[in-house]
Structure 1
Amino acid sequence: MRSLTAVAPSGDFMGSKLIAASPRAGYASYLISLFDTNTMALAALIDGNQVTGIRTAATSAVAIDVLAPTRGLRVTLIGSGFEAQGQLEALAATRQIESATVYSPSLTSRARFVEKFALLLPSVKVSAASSAERAVRDADVVICAARSHDESPVLRGEWLRPGMTVVSIGSTLPEQREVDSEVIRRADLIVADMPEEVAHDTGDMLVATREGVIFEDKLVSLSSVVCKEGSFRRDGSSILLFKSVGSALQDVVIAEMLLLRARTQLVGTTLPVGIVPVAKWKAPTPQEPVAASTA
């Protein structure tokens, strides 16, 4: 059981995402709860699975928009599942995509991915590759949205060429790996949504540290890059890496947006029983002004 908590920037709601996961059972559930900060009443319960995919893809799209070349992009996706599909949809909503190449170990999954996006993005050349290395070969942007069953890296630094932007979203815990240490070593700049967590709690970075790869001096936050705090290189020779682990703030902001839309559109299900706030402190009473003492 894992929990992530945050207060929305609006100040109207606070919330948490609970993740209940069992490797033994092979399942996980994601639940977001929102509370009204004025009354502490439960405002909404939202299925967090879709929200997790939306916020992860949206954050990657923001990172790619500021890091990748401004022209039409040749995109490679390693992975063909829910997360990979969300990544391509979000990027297509924000940037021009020239072509999209997918690799997945499953031939059937690759074919299904190509079929879906050939219809969804008719102006984009969508194809499948027979190996991850071949898929990466001509890409401007490489999006890793898959992990191998034995947690060995799915992207190797020796495949990269100057000018590439790499996105890694599939390694968020110490035991997980998605890119090898050579990717981290070759990256001229590493951008993270949560730099401290990326550096100290993800398997990719922990292994790189054990193997002597120094990256702290080139690790910066996505917010600082978006807000142009400092400088970063985006030229024809730089290899840029965006590594995302996600944050409670991303979940709560999107959950708040969904709640407000649901109220406006009169959709959703009203809970038959509410969670009634409990009075824990006596409300403050107005105090009589205290006269200033004189000496």
Structure 2
Amino acid sequence: MQIFNAKQTAELLPYPHLIAQLSAQFRAGLKAPDRHHHDLPMQHEANGTLLLMPAWNNDIGCIKIVTVTPGNSARSLPAIAGNVLIFRRDTGAHVALLDGAVLTARRTAAASALAADKLARKDARHLLILGAGKVAQQLPDAFAAVRPIDQISIWNNHPDGAEALAASLRQQGKNATAVHDLQDAVSRADIITAATLAQQPLIKGEWLQPGQHLDLIGAFTPTMREADDQALQRSSIYIDTAFACQEAGELKIPLVSGAISQNDICGDLYSLTANPTSARRSSEEITLFKSVGNAVMDLSAALTAINNGGDI
């Protein structure tokens, strides 16, 4: 069995190939079980979590194993550890292990880029990123694979993080700037993407401008939100899979309150990729994509790695 470290995993997942593979798998209608979630009781500290995400096709399968251990912060260790195991369907043989953190960050960014390719205006150039973590760091290259991004603004709850990410992007030759006035930054961007740990909405619907595309990544539990009710009400809403309505507070909270209804969900990655043309109906339409991730994305990444890695 081959084991690929973080750097090697990233090299196996170039964005143009990964986005194309994601599109192919969702267009083919590939399904996967919902994420398995298990509590891990701990003594004298917060409980841990075990997450299992399996998927397979006729040729290969994969399973992502993630452990979340909040008490690791006191031990100066990462709170999240994960790997993706690839196995052959014909023999069940385990053939490769990929770095789970890198694979997850890249497939998450790629899914947002895939949705933006169907929903954002073709001339969208100014990207605003909320957040400065592992996923946020991937978003400039992912969106640049589908749109002519030539201006990047970074906002973060901790300004030093935004400054650091902007400086890193400038070293790569990108036009990147840290911003501090979120309302102003939102009003100026063509694509707004949020990858934060916000518990309360950061983005207000009254700030949105006609023609914008809003991409929401960070709210991955039923209590988390990055945008308010008005932002959803003003937008044409798309999701990665139906599971997002159960898992993400971004959707679950306004669905329960009645601020939006299931009829307001315009489509998902299956319907978006089935349509060969853009799903955007006008240059003035505000579009919104909400993702929580699923194992089809992990399998798409595994297939991309196989195609780029040769003898896996």
Q: TM-score, normalised by structure 1?
A: 0.81
Structure-2 separation of matches of 1:175 and 1:28: 20
Match of 2:91 among 39, 42, 45: 39
Alignment partner, residue 302 of structure 2: 255
Q: Is residue 2:59 matched to residue 1:7?
A: no
Q: Which amino acid is 1:156 matched to?
A: K
What is the Cα deviation at residue 96 of structure 1?
0.6
Amino acid paired to 1:203: G
Q: Equivalents in 1 of 2:221, 2:168: separation in Å? A: 31
Q: Distance in 2 between matches of 1:56 and 1:232?
A: 20
* 2:111 paired residue among 52, 59, 63: 59
Higher helix share: 2
Shift of 1:153: 1.6
Name the CA distance, whole Å, in 2 between partners of 1:120 and 1:215: 43
1:204 to 250, 255, 271: 250
Match of 1:25, SS state, is helix
Q: What are the within-5 Å matches in structure 2 for residues 96-111 of structure 1?
A: 96-111=148-163
In the TM superposition, what is the alpha-carbon distance from 1:111 to its structure 2 partner?
1.5
Cα distance in 1 for partners of 2:123, 2:232 equals 25
Amino acid at match of 2:239: A
Cα shift at 1:233: 4.0
Q: Distance in 2 between matches of 1:65 and 1:260?
A: 23
Map 1:267-278 onto structure 2 (within 5 A): none
Post-superposition Cα deviations, 1:69-114, rounded to whole Å, max 9, x if no partner, equal 1114211111122111101111113321131111112222121111
Check the 8 A contact 1:44/1:259 in 2, yes or no.
Answer: no
Structure 2 residue 213 is the aligned partner of structure 1 residue 165: yes
After superposition, where does 1:177-188 map in structure 2 within 5 Å? 177-187=225-235
Q: C-alpha separation between the residues in 2 aligned to 1:215 and 1:185?
A: 10
**2:18 aligns to what?**
none
Residue 191 of structure 1 pairs with residue 238 of structure 2: yes
CA contact (8 A) 1:181 1:208 kept: yes
Matching of residue 137 in structure 1 with residue 183 in structure 2: no
Count how many residue pairs are aligned between Structure 1 and Structure 2.
257
Question: Match for 1:6: what amino acid?
Answer: A
Higher relative contact order (CA 8 A, sep 6+): 2
Structure 1 runs of 4+ off > 6 angstroms?
Answer: none
Tell me the TM-score normalised to structure 2 length: 0.77
Aligned to 1:29: 81
Query: After superposition, what is the alpha-carbon deviation per residue over 1:37-88, rounded to whole angstroms, capped at 9, x for unaligned?
Result: 1111111222211000110111111111111111142111111221111011
Counterpart in 2 of 1:86?
138
Counterpart Cα distance in 2 of 1:63 and 1:119? 28
Q: CA RMSD in A?
A: 2.1
State the secondary structure of the residue aligned to 1:137: helix
- Could you say if the C-alpha distance between residues 128 and 230 of structure 1 is closer, same or farther in structure 2, counting changes exceeding 3 Å? closer
Aligned-partner SS, 2:128: strand
Please tell me whether the aligned partners of residues 124 and 148 of structure 2 are also in contact (alpha carbons under 8 angstroms): yes
Name which one, 1 or 2, has greater alpha-carbon Rg.
1
Deviation string for 1:130-180 (max 9, x for gaps)?
A: 1321221211110011123xx112222121122110000111221322222
Q: Contact (CA 8 Å) 1:111, 1:128: kept in 2 or not?
A: yes
